[in-house]
Chains A and B, each alone.
Chain A
């Protein structure tokens, strides 16, 4: 991995994700720190990246590297963790049963991923599906169920649905820009995750260990 990518590109990408994913658009802009559950699932996400080989920590922090290079590596790891926690916090609904189920769903999913130990490509694909599904759930499905600006029929349906579920499903109305912001943050996070220093594949590792004749 080039020094530019490690020292400049990855930290800036992950810090931007941390900033964007923490923003809650409303009457003003509020920056919300990650919840405790987001920190736990964020840790599991980073763990899954390491176990799948999508992230090789020894290519960021190692005794054979210079102090400056290790400092760059530490910044990448810290910003990756912050971005992961914030992205997962952003995708978790704010209240009610959806919040509970999404938190449990993400926890179990990352636990399963840690145990299954997929390879790098499969993990990144799986991550895109998980984050994309959570985006659709929160910013499309739940947002449409909580939209106060729909027509009369839509509002009646929303009110009936809210009454039938005892108000446990409906969420606070979202700003129209929130979904776009979330989409951009996820795309940036996945780009950064794909650009992390990976473990060499077994084929590459095997080739590199063939003794010269």
Chain B
């Protein structure tokens, strides 16, 4: 009677451990927070820190983008919340935007963040209804960031200096 119990428990444990190993290989988490957050989100128990999120949005609206990203990263340590990642990407966009040229490094980080937001959003669709923003969907923001780091002839158009930051 005892042997089947051991075998059954062993099988369940082994399969669960194998699933964890496969998940780690697939998602490549870099921090303990990402690991724990990933497991929490699998069981639907992951939540962002509301206070840090509010701080991040306040900083964002004051154009304090570095502070905004710090607070939003604190709110979403596992990088699993699409809204927080959207605002992080938007902060990279606004900080990196330039009338003459964009900061490619910041735009690339923004692209990475918006990809995380899209990956975390249900069905990959994310729309943020915020009147302070001019791009509300993750697709628009992603395309804008992608355009910003792509070299093309229109980059040399002198009329570019009249364009506005979104």
Which A residues have a C-beta under 8 Å from some C-beta of B? 3-4, 6-8, 11-12, 15, 18-19, 22, 28-31, 33, 66, 68-69, 71-72, 75, 79
Q: In the bound complex, what is the Cα–Cα distance between A108 and B13 (angstroms)?
A: 37
Of B10, B28, B30, the residue contacting A8 (CB under 8 A) is B10
Q: In the bound complex, what is the Cα–Cα distance between A192 and B156 (angstroms)?
A: 64
Q: In the bound complex, what is the Cα–Cα distance between A134 and B24 (angstroms)?
A: 26
**Contacts A/B (CB < 8 Å), 21 sampled:** A3-B7, A6-B7, A7-B7, A7-B11, A8-B6, A8-B10, A8-B13, A11-B14, A11-B18, A12-B13, A15-B14, A19-B21, A31-B25, A68-B11, A69-B7, A71-B11, A72-B7, A72-B14, A75-B14, A75-B15, A79-B18
Of A15, A29, A33, A75, the residue contacting B11 (CB under 8 A) is A75
Contact residues in B for A71 (Cβ distance below 8 Å): 7, 11
Q: In the bound complex, what is the Cα–Cα distance between A66 and B5 (angstroms)?
A: 13
**Knowing A3-B6, A28-B30, A79-B18 touch, does A72 contact B11 (C-beta < 8 A)?**
yes
Report the nearest A residue to B29, measured CB to CB.
A29
State which residues 1-37 of B face A: CB under 8 Å: 3-4, 6-11, 13-15, 17-18, 21, 24-25, 28, 30
B10 to A72, Cβ gap below 8 A?
Answer: yes
For chain B, what secondary structure do more than half of its interface residues adopt (helix, strand, loop), or is it mixed? helix
CB distance from A81 to the nearest CB of B (A): 12
CB distance from A47 to the nearest CB of B (A): 22
Contact residues in B for A29 (Cβ distance below 8 Å): 30
Report the nearest B residue to A4, measured CB to CB.
B6
Which B residues have a C-beta under 8 Å from some C-beta of A? 3-4, 6-11, 13-15, 17-18, 21, 24-25, 28, 30
For chain A, what secondary structure do more than half of its interface residues adopt (helix, strand, loop), or is it mixed? helix
Report the nearest A residue to B26, measured CB to CB.
A31
Contact residues in A for B15 (Cβ distance below 8 Å): 75
CB distance from B8 to the nearest CB of A (A): 6
B24 to A31, Cβ gap below 8 A?
Answer: yes
Q: Closest 4 interchain pairs by CB?
A: A7-B10, A11-B14, A8-B10, A28-B30
Q: In the bound complex, what is the Cα–Cα distance between A34 and B117 (angstroms)?
A: 29
Contact residues in A for B11 (Cβ distance below 8 Å): 7, 68, 71-72, 75
CB distance from A200 to the nearest CB of B (A): 21
Report the nearest B residue to A68, measured CB to CB.
B7
A12 to B17, Cβ gap below 8 A?
Answer: yes
B14 to A3, Cβ gap below 8 A?
Answer: no
Contact residues in B for A66 (Cβ distance below 8 Å): 4, 7
A11 to B17, Cβ gap below 8 A?
Answer: yes
Further contacts, 16 of them, CB under 8 A, given A15-B21, A72-B7: A3-B3, A3-B6, A3-B7, A4-B10, A7-B10, A8-B9, A8-B13, A11-B14, A11-B18, A12-B17, A31-B24, A68-B4, A68-B7, A68-B8, A72-B14, A79-B18
Contact residues in A for B13 (Cβ distance below 8 Å): 8, 11-12
Contact residues in B for A75 (Cβ distance below 8 Å): 11, 14-15, 18
Q: In the bound complex, what is the Cα–Cα distance between A71 and B9 (angstroms)?
A: 12
Of B8, B17, B25, the residue contacting A33 (CB under 8 A) is B25
CB distance from B23 to the nearest CB of A (A): 10
Q: In the bound complex, what is the Cα–Cα distance between A4 and B30 (angstroms)?
A: 33
Q: In the bound complex, what is the Cα–Cα distance between A19 and B10 (angstroms)?
A: 18
Report the nearest A residue to B4, measured CB to CB.
A68
Contact residues in A for B3 (Cβ distance below 8 Å): 3
